Structure 1
Amino acid sequence: MIKGIYVHIPFCHQICSYCDFNKFYFHNQPVDAYLDRLDQEMEHWSRKTDLSEVHTVFLGGGTPTSLSLRQLSKLFDSLEQHFPIHQITEFTSEANPDELTYDKMELMAARGVNRFSIGVQTFDARLLKVLGRTHTEQHVERVIQHANDLKFPSISMDLMYGLPNQTMDHWKDALHRAFQMPITHISAYSLIVEPKTIFYNLMSKGKLPLPAQDLERDMYDYLLTSTKKHDFEQYEISNFAKNGLYSKHNSIYWKNEEYLGLGAGAHGYVDGIRYSNHGPLKKYMSALEEGNLPIIHQNFVTEKEAMEEELFLGLRMNKGVSFSDFKRKYGNDLREIYQSQLSKQIQLGNLEERDGRLQLTYQGRFIGNDVFSEFLL
């Protein structure tokens, strides 16, 4: 049963050095035509899918805030026409600090958005330039103050560590500044250099001075201790919330539940099938113009794959994976299927059983991907 809807807006006014998401430089792109095709895709899914349990919408990108007020209104008109927006409890939009004007925030609040995920990454001007970001600290302060004035229930800030030439002092300063602002959520990610990015090209030429692994580990350790000190509860490897304001939409992914993915390059999970849309705008739009869904790849998830995903995704959360829920969903005992892996990782101190659940230990959070890979049979 579908629990959430992801909508991809693949346009950006600036291409960041680290980003490998499906995106296009805004200038001279067919933005309005894209929104028309997106409306068609919404109509397709609304006619063929049970939406009775949908409770989240997430606008991602690219950059949703790259759209004009008129274009945003057009997008919201489509969402309201095809989906049960009245039952949405969390409506998130990603945002760039220098694009999210007060007028856009007012419009989005009036159309149901109640959570912003603001791409701050760092407060250091030099690092921002290296990342290809165009905002300043003043933009961040203004946007968060406006969101607070408009009484948005949840304001999330994205931060990054392990950046080129980033020091521990840079990282401590970024967190210190974040803690001083009226935000309710922090998503903090270490830099992963992906192919087909500016950073990847620089790294291949030996021109990307990344911090040593020990320093990156220390940065993560400081993240865990400092967020706790400032009343942010860690609920997932990279996510921290105040007052229980977890990301409901991202939790759908970690709980291995189903969701719609709409837009060019979007991924979805419906009726046991994981699918991905065409990434190039022309192919995405042409498919819809011909009356077809723009899906390029589909994979029916086998029971074996579903169990692996349950662990790979569920162990990201601090509460981990419930033994009883696993048995109810798959009719198998987690301890029996993964006996050797559990024994090994528990002995190494990376996993523990607590209150009927399998969880990463504090130590295990530092090497989560290594632990997860143990369950890929």
Structure 2
Amino acid sequence: MSEASTGGESLTPFTAVLGDQRHEIYATLAARGTVHPITLPAGAAGWLVTGYIETRALLSDPRLVKGGWRSGAFADKLPEDVARGTYMTMLHTDPPAHTRLRKLVTSAFTRRRVEKLAPRIQRMADDLLTEADDAGPVDLISVLAYPLPINVICELIGIPEEDRADFRAWTQPAASPGIYSLEEYQKAVTSLLEYGRGLIEKRRSEPQDDLLSDLIAARDDGDGLTEDELTSMIFVLLLAGHETTVNLIANGVRALLTHPDQLDLLRRRPELLEPAVEEILRHDGPVQNTLPYRTTEPVQVGGITLPEGATVLFALMAANRDDEHFSSSATLDIARGEQTHIAFGHGIHYCLGAPLARIEARIAFRTLLDRFPALRLAEPAHSLTRVPSMILNGLSELPVYLR
């Protein structure tokens, strides 16, 4: 069982799934201090940092590192070729390797480049909602929040439409090691790895106008991408490129529908759409915690000394509701004006796909509200469940009436 222990009481945010239980647990932890001993889902001991100031400071502290591919979940239990082909990512590496890998894909995710995708994203959203339009309840995750970002990132990478059906079965276990068993996790990441290797082979013989073809060309032109780095890049772009946006869209719709005053304000003042997305990211973001970091020497935080070699997670959900930094932090206020949340992380591992997630969310929210003025939950908010996870914060489904 994954747990944080303080004062003899164990709290388990990773497996708290009903309603707002997860937020309540993080709030209880944060009220007790800024750092807590914790047992990770795979059984290892670690530390959980909940304070906003401490999180921002330590995410830029060179004494906390990732550690390379061997730091990936179950890396010591997976076959080495699977671990290397999965974890040679920006999320698991440190400079200079991290700098080189990030530089190769940064241009694909700049705000200017992403804004050019807006018309295509809008057409996708329109088509999905036209197909979903029904008088009865629909699961908004199945009809919009999942297919929109998975199709966007797959088009960007160059994954054919006919190959996308299997990804949901692979990406959920791949994003939640320890919540899923080693066997389930290994099956999922191996499937993704084998698919990535096959796709690379196809793109090498038949290049297309897509990101993967560009990355292959960079490798073959001597820019240093190895085969393991290519497959790892596909892995991280698929997971980080859609799972977080699924959660952002679904969590955002739930937040707006459970705060009718804020929904009404957004309908009356559509210019608040962009700050509304930022407030949703702060209020109920798509990510619970960062991937683990490791200390290279003893580090003082919150009156506690984390020893050298300690595993450290940063609770972004808790930091974004830190009352020391955000006034009325538990309140959704789309006109708040404070846009200093860290829902996308901080420091060199700040989410590369943040501009893409933001524009997908804005288009999804605007299209939903414009087309369906009677949009409402089909079940009480307190009965909705979240997916068990150490990293992600997403709903298992979001039943709504569109009309």
Would you call these one fold, judging by a TM-score over 0.5?
no
Q: Give the structure with the higher percent helix.
A: 2
TM-score using structure 2 length: 0.23
TM-score using structure 1 length: 0.24
